[in-house]
Chain A
Amino acid sequence: MDIDLITQVLFAAIKTGTPLLFIALGEAICEKTGVLNLGQEGMMLMGAVVGFMAAYATGNAGMGILGALLIGMVMSLIFGFLVLHLGANQVATGLALSIFGGGLSAFVGSSVVGQTITGFQPIEIPVLSDLPVIGKVLFSHDPLVYLAIVMAIIISFVTNKTRLGLTIKAVGENPHAANAIGIKVLKVRYLAVMFGGAMAGLGGAYMSLVYTPMWVENMTAGRGWIALALVVFASWRIGNIVLGAYLFGLASIMHLVLQGMGWSISPNLLAMLPYVATIVVMVIISADKYKEKLLAPRSLGKPFDPRQMA
């Protein structure tokens, strides 16, 4: 492989990993407060289709992003109302949300299948983008790639260094104790769920506005599910999530490159590569079971009813 190919592969890997990064970051915050939202795939598809339609109708990709953020939050509010307010089972409700989003997005988007829009243009960061290799790989992307990285840094800072981060962790570990010291558990969880929804919508919009600027049914191809797995295997650590997302991107690109190089492996097997590689690496990283138990939010998936005192 020559240097140009490597540059291109790495560039594409970051792009491919970006939607995954958005979703995984949102879900990580959601899970840190103890709520497991399996509806990522559905929220992502709705974000993709609504984002595309908004951009198509207004001719403005920024409006597409806005639409995706809003629909993501609306979808997550449906989930939030059912599991937080009514105490429904989180797993079942999340699965239903995924199936619901898949069907609804196909229905809503049937009129715009095959249409195209102009997505975001890359921004070449002055000076840095002129660096050899690194300049192309890291500093000549579209704005959303930078946004994802900035979000990861902010979230990492907030969860580790701020009062808000402490509150999130406290609610996820022991909602009853958090309630007893006066933290509004349901409010924190609602906000986290909505943040997760917005990020999933954004991840979907990245697929339909930037990655492949068009709408196709089920275009997210299971990225919502891989994001869920990624969060767990990354032990809810933001750094690991970033690593895992880009690793997934790299493996996705590698399977195309390997096919292009004429490897005589079944393309179906190669298509598994990103999923297998991401999970294997994450399992190895989080092999220290003893330590990992400290990182998992202990109330994950358990409903909290403030009227029922422990």
Chain B
Amino acid sequence: MSETLKKQNSSPRLELLNITKQYPGCLANDQICMTLMPGEIHALLGENGAGKSTLVKTIYGIVSPDAGQILWNGHEVDIKSPAIARDLGIGMVFQHFSLFETLTVAQNIELCLTKSQLEKIGNLAEKIRDISKDYGLNVDPDRYVHSLSIGERQRVEIVRCLVQSVKLLILDEPTSVLTPQEVAGLFTVLKQLSSEGCSILFISHKLHEVTEICHTATILRGGKFVGDCEPANETPATIAKMMVGDLAEQDAGYEKAHGGSVIFSANDLHLPAKNPFGTSLKHINFELLKGEILGIAGVAGNGQEELMSIISGEDNRNLKKVLTLDGIDLGIMSAGARRKSGLAYVPEERLGRGAVPEMSLSENTLLTHSSGFVKSGLVNWSAVKEYAKNLISQYSVKCHGEFSEAKSLSGGNLQKFIMGREIGQNPKVLICAHPTWGVDVGAALAIHQALLKLRDQGTAILLISEDIDELFLLADRMAALCDGHLSPVVRTEKTSIDQIGQWMAGTFINEPKVSEALA
């Protein structure tokens, strides 16, 4: 606990005592204690599944704890619902946003307010404009949420909390969806709030951010409290050690490759969105070389999904002479035919797209490997099982066996299995989205090495990720997507996080000459 803060404000704003929550088969929170002072920016750290989300949902009244006490300004409170939490002055910005896309900003905010609050505010639209001006948030109350970018939506959620004059603001991984520049903007707002006495609980697993703005940090591992610290006195490495337990094997830098001849190209790929929540692709051009990894950065929702589905063939609109794989026009080819010509695909969504949740691992193997295992319409099941068993041991997938249902695996293990299955097809081109999202450190390392090995065997890999650090680690060349525009493609060693960050925000769109200068 920070000494300076303690001296300034003798009584804590929020105290958690022995909070415990048991889910079927998983102890999400095991006797967790935590203290928050007024004006404190407190980080809640831990790997996926450490129990961070459960803990903040308990504070916000969405999850009711099995045991433990919550003290608010020194008094015990029973937060049964989010409405009670908001009444106390607790606001929350969710990781997966809780906004309604078919309503306007003002309507979204109105839904969170009680009648008496609304009467006190009077003109809600005016209030929203005032707040967004005071904090430099730039939120227009009359716009429909579906027309807003991800960063704008987050600002709406923050304004929604500020309208209710919050005393504790909870942010669940707020920076994972923002460009580096947007993150800087968010931090300015948080610092301003903190100086006004608002406590902030900040969930993250990006350590350099935590050391930058947080006064104190609580670290969870496997549902248990493992320690707290003052991030200013720590380094990312020492905090990481507490999060992971033993010193995790960090990815060292890898050697960059120079690709060979062109194997895949997109030539003026221009495609209107299929639905109002989608993004149109705008005149995208790029070439993929044999034996290289091309990384595409960008905040989710800027056209990644559309780009992947048109390349994989899921989006079956006919484009003539736009996508070419090894000299073949992909034009009207179905997703299956594209796979047969050497295209493999690891989608972002593991359950439902990458694998059928209710089917066993061996059945899921068969889905993309049909040609080898089927003779005159009959499936050679023993060969399929053998193959699945091999994948499981080769990629150390933790599961009961090849008969396990895909949905019974953890995200990281299923991802290793899917990666292995796709790599096993010896593809000419692999499209791969967010390969290590939600995957623990050890599995991420294994996936990285598998990708690099595949690259060295001559496969061209298109890597789409929101994790800039990962892209800089793996990609040989890089570009960024913003609002369906693709930035110029540059070699990774010739660019910087700052430059890619600006491209993610779309600075390249109005300056077409930059591309020529950099090429």
* B518, CB-defined interface residue at 8 Å: no
- Interchain CB contact under 8 A, B98 and A169: no
Give min CB distance, A174 to chain B, whole Å: 6
Contact partners of B319 in chain A: CB under 8 A: none
- Interchain CB contact under 8 A, B94 and A180: yes
- Interchain CB contact under 8 A, A182 and B100: no
**How far apart sit A183 and B114, CA to CA, in the bound complex (Å)?**
11
**How far apart sit A124 and B419, CA to CA, in the bound complex (Å)?**
75
Contact partners of A310 in chain B: CB under 8 A: 96
Q: How many of B's residues come within 8 Å of A, CB to CB?
A: 25
Q: Which of B101-134 contact A (CB under 8 A)?
A: 101-103, 107, 110-112
Given A180-B82, A182-B82, A294-B276, check contact A167 B111 (CB 8 Å).
yes
Q: Which of B37-67 contact A (CB under 8 A)?
A: 57, 61-63
- Interchain CB contact under 8 A, B100 and A177: yes
- Interchain CB contact under 8 A, B83 and A182: yes
* B385, CB-defined interface residue at 8 Å: no
Contact partners of A167 in chain B: CB under 8 A: 111
Give min CB distance, B277 to chain A, whole Å: 8
Give min CB distance, B127 to chain A, whole Å: 17
Q: A179 contacts which of B62, B86, B100, B112 (Cβ < 8 Å)?
A: B62
Contact partners of B62 in chain A: CB under 8 A: 179-180, 309
* A291, CB-defined interface residue at 8 Å: yes
- Interchain CB contact under 8 A, B276 and A169: no
- Interchain CB contact under 8 A, B83 and A177: no
- Interchain CB contact under 8 A, A166 and B98: no
* B146, CB-defined interface residue at 8 Å: yes
* B275, CB-defined interface residue at 8 Å: yes
**How far apart sit A34 and B124, CA to CA, in the bound complex (Å)?**
28
Given A167-B111, A170-B111, A290-B275, check contact A180 B98 (CB 8 Å).
yes
**How far apart sit A294 and B111, CA to CA, in the bound complex (Å)?**
19
* A293, CB-defined interface residue at 8 Å: yes
Give min CB distance, B154 to chain A, whole Å: 14
**How far apart sit A291 and B57, CA to CA, in the bound complex (Å)?**
35
Contact partners of A178 in chain B: CB under 8 A: 100
Q: Mark B263-297, 1 if CB is under 8 A from A, else 0.
A: 00000000000011100000000000000000000
- Interchain CB contact under 8 A, B83 and A170: no
* B333, CB-defined interface residue at 8 Å: no
Contact partners of A183 in chain B: CB under 8 A: 111
Contact partners of B101 in chain A: CB under 8 A: 173-174
Q: B276 contacts which of A166, A173, A293 (Cβ < 8 Å)?
A: A293
Count contacts between A and B, CB distance < 8 Å: 58
Give min CB distance, A92 to chain B, whole Å: 18
- Interchain CB contact under 8 A, B102 and A169: yes
Contact partners of B83 in chain A: CB under 8 A: 182
- Interchain CB contact under 8 A, A294 and B102: yes
Contact partners of A177 in chain B: CB under 8 A: 94, 97-100
- Interchain CB contact under 8 A, A166 and B103: yes
SS class, residues of chain B in contact with chain A: loop
Closest to A165 in B: B107
Q: Mark A135-171, 1 if CB is under 8 A from B, else 0.
A: 0000000000000000000000000000100110110
Contact partners of A179 in chain B: CB under 8 A: 62
**How far apart sit A181 and B107, CA to CA, in the bound complex (Å)?**
13
- Interchain CB contact under 8 A, A170 and B103: yes
Contact partners of A182 in chain B: CB under 8 A: 61, 81-83, 86, 112
Give min CB distance, B114 to chain A, whole Å: 10
- Interchain CB contact under 8 A, B82 and A309: no
Given A180-B62, A180-B94, A293-B276, check contact A169 B100 (CB 8 Å).
yes
- Interchain CB contact under 8 A, A181 and B111: yes
- Interchain CB contact under 8 A, A294 and B98: no
Give min CB distance, A167 to chain B, whole Å: 7
Given A179-B62, A291-B276, A294-B146, check contact A166 B82 (CB 8 Å).
no
Q: B107 contacts which of A166, A290, A294 (Cβ < 8 Å)?
A: A166
Contact partners of A180 in chain B: CB under 8 A: 62, 82, 94, 98
- Interchain CB contact under 8 A, A173 and B102: yes
- Interchain CB contact under 8 A, B110 and A181: no
Contact partners of A309 in chain B: CB under 8 A: 57, 62-63
Contact partners of B277 in chain A: CB under 8 A: 293
Q: Mark A164-207, 1 if CB is under 8 A from B, else 0.
A: 00110110011011111111000000000000000000000000
**How far apart sit A179 and B98, CA to CA, in the bound complex (Å)?**
9
- Interchain CB contact under 8 A, A166 and B110: yes
**How far apart sit A131 and B277, CA to CA, in the bound complex (Å)?**
50
- Interchain CB contact under 8 A, A170 and B100: yes
- Interchain CB contact under 8 A, A166 and B111: yes
**How far apart sit A176 and B82, CA to CA, in the bound complex (Å)?**
13
Give min CB distance, A308 to chain B, whole Å: 10
**How far apart sit A75 and B83, CA to CA, in the bound complex (Å)?**
33
Contact partners of A170 in chain B: CB under 8 A: 100, 103, 111
Give min CB distance, B279 to chain A, whole Å: 14
Q: A169 contacts which of B63, B97, B103, B275 (Cβ < 8 Å)?
A: B103
Contact partners of B103 in chain A: CB under 8 A: 166, 169-170, 173
Q: Which of B72-90 contact A (CB under 8 A)?
A: 81-83, 86
Q: Which of A282-310 contact B (CB under 8 A)?
A: 290-291, 293-295, 298, 309-310
**How far apart sit A176 and B57, CA to CA, in the bound complex (Å)?**
13
**How far apart sit A298 and B103, CA to CA, in the bound complex (Å)?**
13
**How far apart sit A237 and B437, CA to CA, in the bound complex (Å)?**
40
**How far apart sit A298 and B146, CA to CA, in the bound complex (Å)?**
13
Contact partners of B111 in chain A: CB under 8 A: 163, 166-167, 170, 181, 183
Question: Can you name 21 A-B residue pairings with CB atoms under 8 Å?
Answer: A163-B110, A166-B110, A166-B111, A167-B111, A169-B100, A169-B102, A169-B103, A173-B100, A173-B102, A173-B103, A174-B98, A176-B98, A177-B94, A180-B98, A181-B112, A182-B81, A182-B82, A293-B275, A294-B146, A294-B276, A298-B102
User: What are the 10 tightest A-B residue pairs by CB atom distance, in nearest-first order?
Assistant: A177-B98, A182-B82, A182-B83, A180-B98, A170-B100, A173-B100, A293-B275, A182-B81, A181-B112, A294-B276
- Apart from A169-B100, A290-B275, A294-B146, list 17 A-B contacts with CB within 8 A: A163-B111, A166-B103, A166-B107, A170-B100, A173-B100, A173-B101, A173-B102, A174-B98, A177-B97, A179-B62, A180-B62, A182-B81, A183-B111, A290-B276, A293-B275, A298-B102, A309-B57
